[in-house]
Amino acid sequence: MIVPARNAARQIGDCITALLDLDYPEGKVEIIVVDNGSRDATGEVARRFPVSVLTDGRARNSYAARNAGIRRADGEILAFTDADCVPTKGWLRDLVRGSDDGSIGCFAGEIVPYARETAIDRYLADSGQMSQKDLLAYTPLPRAMTANLAFRREVFRRIGLFDEKSVSGGDSEMLIRMLTRTDWRVRYNGDAVVFHKHRTKWLPFVRQFARYGWGEAWLVSTYAEQFHPRLTNGLCREAAEIGRGLGAFIRGVARRGNRGGERYNPLLDAVRLASWNVGLRFGLLYRMYLAR
């Protein structure tokens, strides 16, 4: 199990505690935490537990950290989660269910919000934006998040490690690369759940989805033939959704009829889509600049 962590001193302890408490045969797993250039006490906290801690003084992206963990790991199935995730007790057992089927190269589980305390928590829970099941159903090519994902080691041997040039979307690119270059399939095991501590403030929320948009630009550029029709139609559709979301929020405020936490959902939906689109457009412009 590989966990990249950067400036996660307040979160990594809960993640490791849950991993150590997994319902899985003793001696059959190893936990590797990769301290990715943290400026806080992430490494110090991780070393309080009986896990392997790799330290890289350079602040590189999370895919470089995952690759460092892959090189260090001994197992034939490599499971990934994030420092801000808390897996359930049966997570690993459920995640690798079906591993005796050699046609499966990737295993994906579900990602559930850790709490419903803020408007953003409730929005992400209700909208399913982080649902692995929905990401895998994405067209024309599926997506996935390494918050809850596992690959056979042989996949990395055959097609290479995560692309370290990616700021975001490298997990999806790895899955797409596997599906387009090999005969391996992905299996979704919905009972394998991790609880994810989402960003609960507006500015980090905006940055997160702008980064997702930037990562989408990288995927679109890499797999241009598959994405071109979807990109053109999708941007027009999402621009309309932004307008509808803002309109719904304004109407709700005017009526003052919805005083529950969900009254912010239309606004958050519009903000998410706008942030994603800004990231996508700047990402595409950057890729065009590099291609000159």
Of 138, 173, 199, at which residue does a domain stop? 199
Please check whether residues 233 and 137 belong to one and the same domain.
no
Residue type, 115: A
CA dist., res. 83 & res. 253, Å (int):
37
Do 145 and 50 lie in one domain? The reply is: yes
pLDDT tens profile 7-40 = 999 999 999 999 999 999 988 999 999 998 899 9
> What is the structure's pLDDT at 93?
97
2, 153 contact by CB (below 8 A)? no
Q: What is the pLDDT of residue 225?
A: 65
How many C-alpha atoms does 164 have within 13 Å on its Cβ side?
A: 10
* pLDDT of amino acid 201: 80
Domain end point (choices 169, 199, 229): 199
Q: Which residues, in sequence order, are CB contacts of 251 under 8 Å at separation 6+?
A: none
36 plus 64 within the same structural domain: yes
Kindly provide the residue ranges of all beta strands, DSSP E only, lying in the chain, ordered along the sequence. 2-5, 32-36, 52-56, 77-80, 85-87, 104-113, 149-152, 185-196
Q: With a cut of 60, say whether residue 261 has pLDDT above it.
A: no
The mean pLDDT of 132-137, rounded to a whole number, is 92
Confidence tier at 205 by pLDDT (50, 70, 90): confident
Claim to verify: residue 101 and residue 233 sit in the same structural domain: no
Which of 69-78, 145-154, 223-232 is predicted with the least confidence, judged by mean pLDDT? 223-232
pLDDT at 110: 97
Which of the listed residues 180, 199, 218 is the one where a domain comes to its end?
199
pLDDT digits (tens, 9 = 90+) for 41-55: 999 999 999 999 999
Q: How far apart are CA 87 and CA 124, in angstroms?
A: 18
Say which residue, 282 or 188, is predicted with more confidence: 188
Are 179 and 235 within one domain?
no
Same domain, 139 and 158: yes
Residue 233 belongs to domain spanning: 203-290
pLDDT computed for residue 249 by the predictor: 43
pLDDT per residue as tens digits for the range 179-190: 999 999 999 999
pTM of the model: 0.83
The total domain count for the chain is: 2
Question: What amino acid occupies position 276?
Answer: W
Residue 230: predicted pLDDT = 52
pLDDT value, residue 64: 93
Please tell me whether residues 79 and 170 are part of one structural domain.
yes
pLDDT digits (tens, 9 = 90+) for 217-246: 878 877 776 665 555 455 445 544 544 544
Same-domain check for residues 23 and 151: yes
182 and 38 fall within a common domain: yes
Dist. CA 5–CA 13, nearest whole Å = 11
CATH number of the domain bearing residue 55: 3.90.550.10
Same domain, yes or no, for 181 and 232? no
Segment 1-10 mean pLDDT: 95
Give percent of the chain above pLDDT 70.
Answer: 85
Domain shared by 235 and 160, yes or no: no
Residue 212 scores a pLDDT above 90: no
Q: Are residues 163 and 278 in the same domain?
A: no
Is the pLDDT assigned to residue 195 strictly greater than 90? yes
Distance separating alpha carbons of residues 69 and 32, to the nearest angstrom = 6
| Tokens linked to 165 | 């040039």
